Chains A and B, each alone.
Chain A
Amino acid sequence: MSDQKITIEFNDKVVRQFLLASVVWGAVGMVVGTLVATQLNYWQANFNLPWLTFGRLRPLHTNAVIFAFVGNMMFAGIYYSTQRLVKARLASDFLSQLHFWGWQLIIVAAAITLPLGFSRGKEYAELIWPINIAVTSIWVVFAVNFFWTLAKRREPSLYVAIWFYIATIITVAMLYIVNHLSIPTSWLHSYPVFGGVQDALVQWWYGHNAVAFFLTTPILGVMYYFLPKAAERPVYSYRLSVIHFWSLVFVYIWAGPHHLLNSALPGWLQNLGMTFSLMLWAPSWGGMLNGLLTLRGAWDKLRTDPVLKFFAAAVTFYGMCTFEGPLLSIKSVNALGHYTDWIIGHVHGGTLGWNGFMAAGMIYWLLPRLWSRPLHSIPLANLHFWLGTVGILLYVGAMWTSGITQGVMLNATTEGGTLLAYPNFLDTLNTIRPMMLMRVIGGLLYLVGWFLLIYNLWKTIATALPVNGTIEVFADEGVTAHEDKITLVGTFLNPPVAFSILGVGFSCAWMFGGDFLSIAGMFGLLLCVVLAYTHFESRGKNWATWYDRLLVNSAPFTILVVIAVAVGGLVQIIPTVLVDRAANVEDRRQLPYTPLELAGRDIFVSEGCYNCHSQMIRTLVPDVLRYGDYSRLGESIYDHPFQWGSKRTGPDLARVGSKYPNIWHLRHMEDPRSISVGSNMPNYPWLFTTPTDVAALPGKIAVQRQLGVPYPAWTDAQIAADFNQQAKTIAEDLQTAGGVIAPDKQIVALIAYLQKLGKYETVAPLTSAAR
């Protein structure tokens, strides 16, 4: 090694930019969150304005806090820590700036399009297709910038934080691209390529793992850097890092179907979702343990250092949520908690507690290091911590109480189990009103805490100078020794990887094989476990040595991560997509929508009705008693996107068709409280004045045909004629009942759609469930 030393200046400018963006978008996202929480309890807060209604603003809230707040925070944390962990400046200043400004542009585009009602109708994937392409491109910019930096690293070995960053970049790209595959019908609208159960499965594979790989793994990486830094203590256990990293990234992907328990999703997928969620508990707690136990010997600092307070609380909330997650994935618990506020409480324990507090801790720690001034006020930061903590506890406590109360009421029966105890949905809604108010108060406290951070930040940096970190390195430092290089073959032909692949292979043979293959798979799995155990006991050193070598080989490491995160999705999604769609319907097949109904459906999606109404009657007695026969696979087979929903702030709509007369819907959409006393649903006056976009229908129907929906080869004129005929019939029926409305208005199309829900044709039942 030469003696010549050079000084590297880190690119901390982009870190400062992302940090400030995160703080600002965090405030925006939380303000919108407080507004939508208020709307749930006070419908007046929807202001009768389309762009301020809950259905449009809730996606804005979720997208803002996930992609804008946590996204920017993650980029700041990753860029700051990676440069130091690999002893190299970010590879490209240009890409860094492109990444930053591109991401902010995407956020602005989202903040404009979502309130305008441009939506794909899938949760956390609402953004329209041109923005999807921008997100993918900027993510590629991020990936190139990151991996290029790794390639130029002077520290050969990859620290555990970097493992988590690699997993994040790879997996988010995979999830995002697959779940956003769509065919455009215009610049602002598209239909997802998957429909019905396929769309449901892909959506929750994405939705669940967005939580995993956008809100969890990058933040775990951030924890592994900033927590030991702030505590000035060594990380508790390296081998725990290894085990919990690999088990976490492998198992997480399989757990998506737990969002669809007791639904029409085939049973084998539900069983995978539940069991893998339980297996996820220990890997998740591995991260919590390594965080909390790193603080051993530093607990006294918690009294004085707000940064460590935030970190310790964040990791505790992480542990709480990752226990609650598997608990909620148990089918019987899920039967109570799903569709209720319990889920909202669960999510906010994670976002407010884990993400928000990790962000706050990281920001308070970074401020004096990125600017030339110590933190303006430590007492204020402490106050922020306590306001935030009390806010979270109020919020989460309220949601637990509310969710369990409503779940119990909705499931309660009387008269020997033959009747619902609370047949009126509104009785259950109005019981939880006080809890909804408590949530607003908890959220407000948390928001006030965040504004304290902004004030503290402003006072710290307003008159300070930006500072860029530097490091002295030897000019030729960090070259991986030749004997440590791992070839492609060596990536796989080594005990840990070979045993893992064999184990997964045998497990799949056991789970999915026929009679003989199942037995062979079980036998092979047992043999594999025994051999692996014996080998590890006798030659465990080889495993450790090999892993040490893997850590200086970033490409083989990345390849193994790709495989680990891909397996679960491949096993679940490929069979579901390849299966003959028309046959995989159980005993019912939905009737395709008429042009008017399709237009109505697009309005339903655009208004975000799915944020409060499910279209999935579960295979549970209380659901069937309340909403009718349970939903079959075939009943949503042509739905692009699926609208099974994830929350019932209002009742399920799967069989609402023909339940009420047209005039009921008209009056209800005009003023829900005139029909349903105590309802918290917004009024939709603009649907009565806005004309339906008939001109777009031929293009939309053409795309639906491409997607396999059996529409006849209609001409544009036939579509318009069919549309007008049905609209006229409905308008006339409304007029008879005393409702005067022009047939071309959106409300007519929406009523047509609602009246179609639950209409099907009977088909011969399939004897063996398609696997």
Chain B
Amino acid sequence: MTPIPPPEDDTLRHHSFDGIQEFDKRLPNWWLMTLYGAIIFWVGYWAYFQWFHVGLDGPQEVTREMSKIEAARLASAPTTDNASLWKMSRNPVFIEAGRATFNTLCASCHTEKLTGAIGPNLVDQLWIHGGTPTEIYTTLEKGVLAKGMPAWVPVIGAKKSAEAVAYILSFHKEGEPIETQAAWIPQAPK
């Protein structure tokens, strides 16, 4: 190949391979610093996690984080026994909050009037999965996956779920009869 004058006073190595020649330029400092920096980081990182065991490993870390979340949930979780849920169902603040949740998430199947369409009617006295407040809450907790009812508590949390139950209960009275219904025949929403 035709030798082009090198831009700097480089020395070429004496050897050439099929016409390919090689300079022997020194390694750029920033490149060396990157290499050395990564090596020093390795020593420090390994010492922190594996030698002195200061850093937590993945399972320890996630267990700690999850217990914090668990604690936060427990601290803010509403009580979901029958008496408390009935009490919430008479409180306008809870009913309003429950209405908002219900209309966004539940009304597409149960309708805004709660009279049922794809999912069952929630204002009559017929219940498939139990009609006590706790049983209704459990249905939200576990879902009825076979019928397309999702488990809502893990998704929207205990507070919003309890509010939605309170909203449903606001259409009912404590002590009214609870009758068992075998199944709901889905109807197209009107």
Contacts and interface: CB of A to CB of B under 8 A. Distances in A.
Nearest to B24: A238
A737 B15 contact: no
Contacts of A262: 58
A671 interface: no
B51 interface: yes
A281 interface: yes
B156 to A, nearest CB: 7
Given A274-B45, A661-B145, A664-B146, A619 B59 contact: yes
A247 interface: yes
A241 B22 contact: yes
B104 interface: no
Interface in B1-50: 1-2, 4, 6-7, 10, 12-13, 15, 17-28, 31-32, 34-35, 38-39, 41-42, 45-46, 49-50
Contact of B17 (A159, A418, A624, A659): A159
B176 interface: no
Contacts of A664: 145-146
Contacts of B13: 238
Interface in A143-160: 155, 157, 159-160
Interface in B149-169: 154-157, 159
Of B4, B25, B49, the most chain A CB neighbours within 10 A belong to B25
Given A159-B17, A418-B69, A234 B58 contact: no
B86 to A, nearest CB: 25
A491 interface: no
A654 interface: no
Given A85-B17, A229-B19, A285-B34, A624 B145 contact: no
A586 B72 CA distance: 27
Nearest to A529: B39
Contact of B31 (A270, A282, A415, A586): A282
Given A419-B157, A619-B62, A239 B69 contact: no
Interface residues of A, number: 70
A421 to B, nearest CB: 11
Contacts of A415: 157, 159
Contacts of A411: none
Nearest to A286: B31
A238 B69 contact: no
A235 B7 contact: no
6 contacts: A84-B18, A235-B23, A271-B45, A276-B42, A418-B73, A420-B155
7 A-B pairs with least C-beta separation: A619-B58, A282-B35, A275-B42, A234-B21, A267-B57, A237-B25, A159-B17
Contacts of A419: 155-157
Given A420-B155, A660-B145, A234 B23 contact: yes
A420 B154 CA distance: 9
A20 interface: no
Interface in B52-85: 57-59, 61-62, 65-66, 69, 72-73, 76
Given A236-B25, A624-B62, A297 B155 contact: no
Contacts of A195: none
A543 to B, nearest CB: 14
A243 B34 CA distance: 14
Contacts of A274: 45
A621 interface: yes
Given A279-B35, A283-B35, A630-B62, A289 B28 contact: yes
Contact of A238 (B7, B22, B35): B22
Contacts of A298: 4
A270 B20 contact: no
